[in-house]
Structure formats: C-alpha cells, structure tokens
Amino acid sequence: MDTKIININKENIDEELIMEASSLIKDGKLVAFPTETVYGLGANGLDESAVKGIFNAKGRPQDNPLILHIYNVEQLIPLVKDVSDIALECIKKFWPGPLTMLFKKSNIVPDIITAGLDTVAIRMPNNPIALELIRKSNTPIAAPSANLSGKPSPTSANHVIQDLDGKIDMIIDGGITGVGLESTVLDLSGDVPLILRPGGVTIEDLKEFIPNITQDKGTIIESADITPKSPGQKYRHYAPKAEMIVFDGEIEDIVEGITNRTNELINKGLRVGIMATEETKNNYTLGTVLIVGSRENKESIAANLFNTIRLFDDKNVDIILAEGIESDNIGMAIMNRMMKASGGKIIKV
C-alpha cells in the first residue's frame, strides 16, 4: 500500500487537506495524526472493520482496548451510559487535554473497541489538527499510539514513517508532539478512582478534584504477582532493541552506579549507551551518551524520552544504562515508561 504523507501546520490549518484525510476516515481507511501527547493511528471508531485494520497494521493484541477520540462533549453522550459528577468536573478542567476517562459503554460502541469490556476509554485531544480531523470526519476516531506494537510511541511523523509506512493510508505530519508521553488513563467506574496509566495529567493535578484517587500498583512496579487493570499495561512496551537498565536513587549514586557498570561492560567488549541528563552529562567519559532532557524541567524529559530510546536503536548499542528521575508530577509517567521499556530492570542505588 502507498502511504500518502501530508503536512499540516497546526497554527494555520489547511481545510482541504483535512477534508482529504477525513474522507479517508469516512471510507474506513487508516490515518495517522498528531495529538498533544503522541501520534495516533486513527480509524472510524464506529466501523468495526476499519478498527480491525488498526490492530492489523500495528500487530496489536486483540485483547488490548482502544481509546475513542472526540472533539466536543456532545459527541460523548451517545457513547456512554452516564457521566458522573466527578467525570463532569474532570471534563471541565482537563479536556481538551491528556486525560482519558473510562465510562460504561453504550450499545453503539463496537466490542472490538473495548475488547469486550463494559467500559469505553474516551478523550478529547488538545491539538487543533486532531480536533478538526474528528469534527470533519463526523465520528469518534479510535486511535492507539501510531507505533508498531511494543515499540516506543511516536512523537514525530518520522517515527510513524519508520514503523507504519506502507501499512496505512495516510500520515499527517503536524510537527513534534508536545507532552511526549501518552495520556493519563483514569478509571472512575469502580469504588475507588484509579489511575490505570500515569500520563500528562498528573496525580497531583487530579488530587485537587478527587482526594481519594489512587494509582494501580501495576503502573509502579513490574511484577508477576500484579496484573495491571488496564490490559495494555501488561505488555512489554516502548522497548528498545538493546537491553535497558534504569538506575534509581540519589543523583550522585546514580552517576557512580552507571559509571562503574559502564566500565565493566566496556571491558567485556559491549557497546554501552548512557541516557543522561543536562545536569549529569559531563560526568560520563565512556560510552555513547545521549541527553534526554533537564532534571530542572522534567517536561523536557517526557517530551524527549521516546525519541531518545529510538536514537539508541540507531546507534546500535548493546545495552542502555538510563538515569532514573524523581517520580513526582510528570516524573511518575516518565518512570512508568522507563520501567516498561526496561522490562522492570530497575536497580536501586
């Protein structure tokens, strides 16, 4: 299949190009588009066979449900059984934005979207291209991250091209995404409000509205004893080709631990990649050092994390030693992705 790549400037949207993309969506085709978190692989969310195409193109397991993307609150109502007061407050505060919420699904949501669950995940992305595409398509758009299953989520159109060129109908290049990590997934359907995946909206942000909010244990520790509540969290994710180990602790200890381990591994003849930060980069004299961002500005680390993991693939290192980040605010989502990328290999130093 030929994948058409088009450029759209989010500050000045070309309506004709959006029309072209939306007519593909209406025809049951696959269009990758930017959101404020990561690129999504979109299809008409109410068209079962179009949605099947998403699973095929990504190689995604069928038991992993998808998020429906909407452009306004009216579009939410037919998709769900009800909207609780807390959900309504979160909508007012955080939509459009990187918060996905679970609702009891209505009958018009196909089972393939929810993988047979009775809840449906919905979000309103904060990107004008995404919103305009949904509006013109006149349907909720199902969209997982636009990567091959298991790879880091795409934060640029180039990442989408690397993974899906030839497998989908169109890629809208709308520049680099902002947040860089996927949306927070919030489950309000049980007794206790639960974060199933930490993301751009932090637990600190949510606590103001939902004081009793908690976080699913599977998002913090990788362990065979814990089955994450969100089906997607159980798979190995964001994985670089190389093995990855995360060092977590005080910054001096992290630097010392990584330096010692680098020496050992290089002596064994291995090519070592180090994922460092602005504040620590000058401490490393060996290995391939890439700077993921600044500890003073954790948003910069979130924005660059997936791109940095992909860059290590290009550099053909055998092993990546990554600095852990303090897990407050967006740091929680960063550490969750590092845990997944490393398959839970976190060394406390």
Q: Give the full edge-to-edge strand order of the sheet including 319-323.
A: 288-291, 272-276, 319-323, 243-248, 346-348
Binding flag, residue 66, ligand TXA (CB under 6 A) = yes
Nearest approach, Cβ of 157 to ligand TXA (angstroms)?
13
**Which position among 53, 110, 140, 144 is part of the footprint of ligand TXA (CB under 6 A)?**
144
DSSP string, 111-161: HHHHTT-SEEEEE--S-HHHHHHHHHHTS-EE--BSS-TTSPPPSSHHHHH
**Which position among 51, 143, 332, 349 is part of the footprint of ligand TXA (CB under 6 A)?**
143
The region that residue 166 occupies, defined by phi over 0 for left and psi between -120 and 50 for alpha, beta otherwise, is left
Print the binding letters for residues 185-224 with ligand TXA: x by CB under 6 A, - otherwise. Answer: x----------xx---------------------------
Nearest approach, Cβ of 338 to ligand TXA (angstroms)?
16
Rounded to whole angstroms, how far apart are CA atoms 69 and 144? Answer: 10
Rounded to whole angstroms, how far apart are CA atoms 57 and 54? Answer: 5
Binding residue count for ligand TXA, defined by CB under 6 A:
29
Cβ proximity to ligand TXA: between 154 and 287 the closer is: 154
Sign of the C-alpha dihedral computed for residues 63, 81, 188 and 42 taken in this order:
positive
Binding segment toward ligand TXA, per CB under 6 A, in 143-151, 215-223, 246-254, 333-341? 143-151
Interface positions, 134-153, toward Mg ion (CB under 5 A): 145
Cβ proximity to ligand TXA: between 26 and 234 the closer is: 234
Binding flag, residue 131, ligand TXA (CB under 6 A) = no
* Number of neighbouring beta carbons within 10 Å of residue 223: 10
Whole-number Cα distances in Å, 271 to 84, 240, 267, 286, 292: 53, 14, 10, 10, 19
**Which position among 64, 84, 283, 329 is part of the footprint of ligand TXA (CB under 6 A)?**
64
Can you tell me whether residue 186 is helix, strand or coil? strand
Binding region for Mg ion (CB under 5 A)? 145
Contact set with ligand TXA (CB under 6 A) = 35, 37-38, 40, 64-67, 98, 100, 102, 114, 117, 119-121, 125, 143-145, 182-183, 185, 196-197, 230-233
